[in-house]
Amino acid sequence: MRANGDKLVWASTHVDCSPRCFPWQGRLYSLDGSYGTTDTGVSYQPLENAVNVPYTTKAGKTYMNGLLGFNCRHRLIPYKDEQQPPKGYTKAQTVQAYGIDLQQRAMEREIRRVKERAHLLKGVEDVKDGEISKLFAQARNMTQAYRKFCRDNNRVAMIYRTQVTVEEQEYNQRRQHTVYNDVVDKSTGEIITSAGTHFDKVRLIGGDGGGNFRDKDLKQSQLGGNPLHYRKMSGIIKQSGKNVDTVHWVQDGRVNKIEEKDYTKQVKKK
């Protein structure tokens, strides 16, 4: 900005600003160390005043951690004549929004804590039967509550922040990019559900490198790719907004292609 000849810059604003940055956001700063007032009556001060704010950690180490410090999301905007300042927020608005952020992070940490305990218990000989499954079920319920909290408070659910293993990250990434194509009853040619239909409670039944994939008649030529990537999935769909059916299908996680199999005898009416 200095190279472009900019002398003054605004600090951007956002409602969920941290207490550290709140006193400095939305203000006008100089890049040449000067103090003054614009023709429109806006006062400015050196940017260094907002940036070089000392912060001492519990370990006794001191950093300059003011505006534009660690994890700061503010940015600088070149000042133009007669330009209006960035939108401002009251202290109450910021405290409320920042509190929502803190709650969201706390929920993410708790989900990770439960998952970590479940993984750590694997291989422990004296673990009670079902204890690990209960922990994973608890984590799933907590994740649902987390998603609802984010929706209710207009926040993006950062699911990747709740992941604790590489396998979980890879599985969620594949699931996120899976394109659900038509599921067809081969005996009648009837389309059970059309492309893009939402599947609720999608879960992995078998496969994906595991040892419980039982479809021995499924040949590699049917799907292509690596058979170790095959997955048997289950999901719940609605037809005409009334009936709810459980549908099973087989897909290749590498290419996200669904193998159309006749599961009509296995469909369960709910």
pLDDT tens digits, 174-185: 554 444 445 544
Whether the per-residue pLDDT at 249 is higher than 90: the answer is no
Phi, psi of 243 (to 5 degrees): -70, 145
Query: What does the pLDDT average to over 211-215?
Result: 51
Residues 69-80 have pLDDT tens digits of 998 989 999 998
Alpha carbons 75 and 21: distance in angstroms, whole number: 12
Secondary structure (H, E, C), 143-205: HHHHHHHHHHCCCCCCHHHHCCCHHHHHHHHHHHHCCCCCEECCCCCCEEECCCCCCEEEEEE
Query: What does the pLDDT average to over 132-161?
Result: 91
3-state DSSP assignment of residue 232 = strand
CB atoms within 10 A of CB 142: 19
CA of residue 40 relative to chain centroid, distance = 43
CA of residue 208 relative to chain centroid, distance = 23
Confidence of residue 160 (pLDDT cuts 50, 70, 90): confident
pLDDT at 200: 64
Instruction: Quote the mean pLDDT of the chain.
Output: 77
Alpha carbons 14 and 202: distance in angstroms, whole number: 36
Q: Match 């994740």 to its residue by tokens.
A: 143
pLDDT at 170: 67
